[in-house]
A and B are shown apart, each in its own frame.
Chain A
Amino acid sequence: MSGKHTFVNSKYPRFDLPDKARGETVYGTDLRFADMLTAKILRSPYAHAKIVAIHTEEAKKLPGVVAVLTGKDHPWRIGRVIDDQPFLAIDKVIYAGEPVVAVAAVNEKTAEKALDLIKVEYEQLQPVFDVEESASGNAPVIHEGFADYFFVPPAEYMAGSNICSHKKVRKGDTEKGFAMADFIVENRFYSPMGLACCLEPQVCIAQVASNGSITLWDSTQSVYRVRRALARVLRKKEKDIHIIVPHLGGGFGEKNCINQELVAIGLAMHSGGRPVKVQLNREEQIQAAMTKHACVVYIKSGIKNDGEILARQVTAYYDTGAYAHTGPTVSGQAGFTAAGPYKIENITIDSYCVYTNKTPAGSYRGYGVPQVSWAYEQHMDIIAARLKMDPLAFRLKNVLQNGDETMSGEIVHDCALKECIEKAAAAIDWNAPAPALAPGKLRGKGIAGAWKSTGAPSVHLATIRMEQDGSVVVGNSTTEMGQGCLAVFQAITCDELALLPEDVNVSLPDSIYTPYTEGTTSSRAGAFDGRAVYDAAQKIKQQLFSLAAPLLEVDIEKLELRDKKVMIKGTETGIAYGNLLSKSDIGHAGNLFAQGEYRTNYVIKPDPQTGQSPLPTSSWLYAAQAVEVEIDTDSGTVTVLRVASAHDVGIALNVLNCEQQVEGGVLMGISNALYEDLLFDEGGHVRNNSFVDYKLLTVRQVPPIETILIEDMPGSAGVYGAKGLGESSLIAISAAIANAVYDATGIVSTNLPITAERLYWAIKEKEKRE
């Protein structure tokens, strides 16, 4: 699957950008229809409380109100792994901000007024917010009805517990490894909840026809997963749920889960065929939409004095908040990798997904891996310091390379991680001494490696339809949320069918027209859906050859595609696609259609007791990120001076896209590392529910970023050998910054984020000790 590329592997401009620059691109928030109703949601003020009574009579009487619903109206429960989330709270609320009553009205003001007229009586229950306390077995049980929920592995029911999944890895004999070690290093690290902060909030418009069929305009990353879950819960046929996905103003995983669909559908069912729009405001988006899992990680290693890592034990507690969403797969997939990409004979990992009475957590760029990377990559530097070894040398000694065995028994293949580490370090002049600095300033360098497995198995289908004039429409259900996959699919199609970008349109997801794909997640759309596009193009090519061969009076083997024509190889004789498809003397061909596919059903599911599998995933992401920081000791402020981010991409499908993904991931990572922290008060309410209080990086904190794309190790799964990088650009950056801070100050940042205040006090404490 290689060949000469014209558009692929270049920096050619994304075709979606001019419309975006004009403000013409249509997002879910821009959609409106005649007679459309506006929905508003009354939310719980308590983190854990019994619902005693709900009084909606006054609200229902308000002119302009069309529907008022509570959980009792439709006792639906839905989820991605566990159907644990009611569309509106039933009997009790389990986080502050949980939807309790939904209203559809002719306009926003009327809907808001209706909310004011609703009275809910609660009886407060004891909440639990701390993830370890919740996992201890001594906390109030949050989901008493779990045994009756529909759920799929890796979720599991543990009676009397708030733990909803437990991922295990058992390799070798960890205790023996500890016993044989020269020394042991043990640490605990914590990452807080955080937010994707898509600038476009979640939005869903639902319309229900009198025959019961449903149309949704939905800002989702996973049209088919959402449809399957909705069909299951609503007891409908999948064909009767039509989901149309417009452009998304950011996704980052947040829109991978079940979002506002059931609220919109529920209201629409009671609105006489009128469409109902649910659109969250920023406060709702922050307090109740979807967070990144908070995570506590215990990590312990047994080390030989020569720097060999004999054994490692990791225990991770992922805080999934009130509802699981993707929590069990996040904690499972990330927990699987929690010992890090290093050669270790003896490994024990336990990764738990735990309910608490907080905002639900779900997918977030990196899928739980940044949280464990935060732990194992800092742990590596702490060990290196104990060994009096350069952290870079310690990594290079232990990093997994082709032929090594991973924690699951897989033999490492197609892996350029070592090269990533070397190149990232070189790019920030790792060995150059720090310049002379003003008093009160310190400088440090840090590096961290990243690996992440791609979710598998997965199915990716794409269609190509060649119209009678030879132009082409590519159909695929990848959501365009900024990552530029549409342009990648366009480039692949152009290269394979000898077309120009102006000849190729790429559709957005529409469940009636575009075929199944697993969801725009796990950094795989470009590589895997791209492979399905490639496959469809090969089939179209064969159809073109079959049509042209008799006309050109040669065998198919003598034909090739060139400049929108089927040509006889080595000659200037041929026929243009448009002529071929519309030729009337042979009866025109209509249009050509082909479906391409890529399936990763060859992966071998890890054993649930040991996590062992020789082929647990279709593709690994590998990257390394190196940073230099300057610290102002008088304020504790960390300034990132420069970043080098090296990625094992196989091939850069679009060099511009790759740079965008890397720069974007790095900046999100710096923001995570230094600023972002979702804060809760003692009642479980989000304290910083605006962009003023929930700090994000701005243009002022942007350092120079060097993107290094390593293209000499093609992968076996993605199109042309491509591997993903959407998530690996974020994974290691927080730990790399922490390691740079450690290099400069000797202070370990156990808790994210590394705020100026935290570092200031840590510096003061250290000064006092010395």
Chain B
Amino acid sequence: MIKPLQETVLLHVNGKEHLLDVEVSELLLDVLRDRLGLTGSKKGCETGECGACTVLLDGRPVNSCLVLALDAVGYEITTIEGLSPVDGPLNPVQQAFVDFGAIQCGYCSPGMIMSVTALLAENSAPDDEDIKKAISGHLCRCGSYVKIMDAVRYLSTVRQDENMKMTVELEKRER
């Protein structure tokens, strides 16, 4: 069996501390998924091209398949599991993705939602260009882009009038 070099590290994930022995070459994505059971961050390409593994380091989105676990030490790491309490309601971004049907197979959704969450934390009124920039590193093969844009526009305070219309439309959907 190949036993690579290991180091003991303290990782801060979703508000909890984890003392772990990690291999020096181990990716943050693998540690999150395989050691901490946080499988919400998805493995789509392992080379930073699809965005499905996006997590936040101190609030900034990164591809966790491109970050060594060792390099995540000292940061507050937020994964999709950290956005809303297990028994509680979805956070507003998650809820908007659900309401607008911005999710199909769901494999890209955690990554998309992390990037949108980071965007809105920085800029509560993103315009279309801001939104596109925030998610241009994410691939969605189901082609949910139209509805993702709708969901984020709804969350953006830049379009209050339009949001009123969208709210009415959403209420019509409710039964």
Q: Does B46 belong to the interface (CB within 8 Å)?
A: yes
Q: Does B56 belong to the interface (CB within 8 Å)?
A: no
Check if A690 sits within 8 Å of B49, measured CB to CB: yes
B82 closest partner in A (C-beta)? A23
Check if B175 sits within 8 Å of A199, measured CB to CB: no
Given contacts A22-B94, A26-B39, A663-B147, contact A109 B2 (CB under 8 A): yes
A198 to B107, CA, bound (A): 9
Given contacts A14-B101, A483-B104, contact A249 B42 (CB under 8 A): yes
Check if B105 sits within 8 Å of A668, measured CB to CB: no
Q: Does A666 belong to the interface (CB within 8 Å)?
A: yes
Given contacts A16-B106, A20-B109, A64-B1, contact A699 B49 (CB under 8 A): no
Most chain B CB atoms below 10 A, which of A16, A25, A197, A484:
A25
Check if A12 sits within 8 Å of B97, measured CB to CB: no
B132 closest partner in A (C-beta)? A699
Q: Which residues of A contact B46 (CB under 8 A)?
A: 281-282
A18 to B80, CA, bound (A): 12
Q: Which of B67-75, B119-127, B134-142, B160-168 contacts A (4 or more CB under 8 A)?
A: B134-142
Give, as a whole number of angstroms, the nearest-CB distance from B116 to chain A.
11
Check if A20 sits within 8 Å of B106, measured CB to CB: yes
Give, as a whole number of angstroms, the nearest-CB distance from B159 to chain A.
16
Check if B107 sits within 8 Å of A663, measured CB to CB: no
A248 to B106, CA, bound (A): 9
Check if B141 sits within 8 Å of A22, measured CB to CB: no
A280 to B4, CA, bound (A): 23
Give, as a whole number of angstroms, the nearest-CB distance from A319 to chain B.
23
A655 closest partner in B (C-beta)? B173
Q: Which of A3-11, A43-51, A307-315, A510-518 contacts B (4 or more CB under 8 A)?
A: A3-11
A693 closest partner in B (C-beta)? B49
Which A residues between 539 and 589 are near B, CB-CB below 8 angstroms? none
Check if B2 sits within 8 Å of A110, measured CB to CB: yes
Given contacts A10-B175, A107-B1, A482-B142, contact A21 B103 (CB under 8 A): yes
A669 closest partner in B (C-beta)? B143
Give, as a whole number of angstroms, the nearest-CB distance from B49 to chain A.
4
Chain A 238-256 interface 0/1 with B at a Cβ cutoff of 8 Å (1 = within): 0000000001111110000
Check if B47 sits within 8 Å of A690, measured CB to CB: yes
Q: Which residues of A contact B1 (CB under 8 A)?
A: 62-64, 105-107, 110
Chain B 79-121 interface 0/1 with A at a Cβ cutoff of 8 Å (1 = within): 1110110000010001101110101111111100100000000
A700 to B142, CA, bound (A): 15
Which A residues between 101 and 157 are near B, CB-CB below 8 angstroms? 105-107, 109-110, 113
CB < 8 Å neighbour of A196 from B38, B83, B141: B141
Check if A32 sits within 8 Å of B34, measured CB to CB: yes
Chain A 618-662 interface 0/1 with B at a Cβ cutoff of 8 Å (1 = within): 000000000000000000000000000000000000001101100
A590 to B149, CA, bound (A): 48
Check if B106 sits within 8 Å of A249, measured CB to CB: yes
Question: Number of contact residues on A: which range applies?
Answer: 35 or more
Check if A22 sits within 8 Å of B84, measured CB to CB: yes
Check if A665 sits within 8 Å of B143, measured CB to CB: yes
Q: Which residues of B contact A107 (CB under 8 A)?
A: 1-2
Give, as a whole number of angstroms, the nearest-CB distance from B124 to chain A.
20
Q: Does A705 belong to the interface (CB within 8 Å)?
A: yes
Q: Which residues of B contact A657 (CB under 8 A)?
A: 101
A251 to B104, CA, bound (A): 11
Given contacts A29-B43, A106-B1, A282-B45, contact A21 B109 (CB under 8 A): yes
Given contacts A23-B110, A113-B2, A199-B141, contact A699 B135 (CB under 8 A): yes
Q: Which residues of B contact A109 (CB under 8 A)?
A: 2, 4
Check if B2 sits within 8 Å of A23, measured CB to CB: no
CB < 8 Å neighbour of B42 from A200, A252, A668, A691: A200
Which B residues between 3 and 45 are near A, CB-CB below 8 angstroms? 4, 33-34, 38-45
A481 to B141, CA, bound (A): 11
A703 closest partner in B (C-beta)? B146
B44 closest partner in A (C-beta)? A199
Check if A199 sits within 8 Å of B39, measured CB to CB: no
A333 to B97, CA, bound (A): 37
Q: Does B144 belong to the interface (CB within 8 Å)?
A: yes
A23 to B145, CA, bound (A): 18
Q: Which residues of A contact B155 (CB under 8 A)?
A: none
Check if A696 sits within 8 Å of B146, measured CB to CB: no
Given contacts A23-B79, A110-B2, contact A17 B139 (CB under 8 A): no
Q: Does B57 belong to the interface (CB within 8 Å)?
A: no
Q: Which residues of A contact B135 (CB under 8 A)?
A: 699
Q: Which residues of A contact B144 (CB under 8 A)?
A: 660, 663-664
Q: Does B77 belong to the interface (CB within 8 Å)?
A: no
A668 closest partner in B (C-beta)? B143
Most chain B CB atoms below 10 A, which of A6, A32, A196, A691:
A691
CB < 8 Å neighbour of A250 from B105, B113, B131: B105
Check if B98 sits within 8 Å of A660, measured CB to CB: no
Check if B106 sits within 8 Å of A17, measured CB to CB: yes
Check if B97 sits within 8 Å of A252, measured CB to CB: no
Check if A484 sits within 8 Å of B106, measured CB to CB: no
B30 closest partner in A (C-beta)? A108
A20 to B80, CA, bound (A): 10
Give, as a whole number of angstroms, the nearest-CB distance from A557 to chain B.
30
A252 closest partner in B (C-beta)? B141
Q: Does A24 belong to the interface (CB within 8 Å)?
A: yes
A6 to B175, CA, bound (A): 8
CB < 8 Å neighbour of A200 from B83, B98, B105, B148: B105
B134 closest partner in A (C-beta)? A699
Check if A21 sits within 8 Å of B2, measured CB to CB: no
Given contacts A17-B103, A698-B139, contact A22 B40 (CB under 8 A): yes
A388 to B147, CA, bound (A): 40
CB < 8 Å neighbour of A20 from B47, B50, B103, B131: B103
Chain A 734-768 interface 0/1 with B at a Cβ cutoff of 8 Å (1 = within): 00000000000000000000000000000000000
Check if B106 sits within 8 Å of A25, measured CB to CB: yes
Given contacts A12-B173, A29-B42, A200-B44, contact A691 B142 (CB under 8 A): no
Check if A700 sits within 8 Å of B49, measured CB to CB: no
Q: Which residues of B contact A698 (CB under 8 A)?
A: 136, 138-139, 145
Given contacts A23-B40, A691-B50, A702-B149, contact A247 B101 (CB under 8 A): no
Chain A 266-278 interface 0/1 with B at a Cβ cutoff of 8 Å (1 = within): 0000000000000
Which A residues between 148 and 201 are near B, CB-CB below 8 angstroms? 196-201
A199 to B107, CA, bound (A): 7
Q: Which residues of A contact B131 (CB under 8 A)?
A: 699
Q: Does A770 belong to the interface (CB within 8 Å)?
A: no
CB < 8 Å neighbour of B94 from A21, A25, A664: A21
Give, as a whole number of angstroms, the nearest-CB distance from B162 to chain A.
15
Q: Which residues of B contact A665 (CB under 8 A)?
A: 143
Check if B173 sits within 8 Å of A699, measured CB to CB: no
A481 closest partner in B (C-beta)? B105
Check if B90 sits within 8 Å of A18, measured CB to CB: yes
Q: Which residues of A contact B141 (CB under 8 A)?
A: 196-199, 250, 252, 668, 696
Interface set of A (CB-CB < 8 Å, partner B): 6-7, 10-14, 16-27, 29-30, 32, 62-64, 105-107, 109-110, 113, 196-201, 247-252, 281-282, 481-484, 656-657, 659-660, 663-668, 690-692, 696, 698-700, 702, 705
Q: List 23 A-B contacts (CB under 8 A).
A: A16-B106, A21-B97, A21-B98, A22-B40, A22-B80, A23-B38, A23-B79, A29-B39, A30-B39, A64-B1, A105-B1, A197-B139, A199-B52, A282-B44, A282-B45, A656-B173, A660-B144, A663-B143, A664-B142, A692-B49, A696-B139, A698-B136, A699-B132
Closest 3 CB pairs of A and B: A23-B40, A482-B105, A64-B1
Q: With A199-B107, A482-B104, A702-B149 given, can you name 19 additional A-B contacts, CB distance below 8 Å?
A: A21-B97, A22-B84, A23-B41, A23-B79, A32-B34, A63-B1, A107-B2, A109-B2, A109-B4, A110-B2, A199-B42, A282-B50, A660-B101, A663-B147, A665-B143, A666-B143, A690-B45, A690-B47, A699-B145
Interface set of B (CB-CB < 8 Å, partner A): 1-2, 4, 33-34, 38-47, 49-50, 52, 79-81, 83-84, 90, 94-95, 97-99, 101, 103-110, 113, 131-132, 135-136, 138-149, 172-173, 175
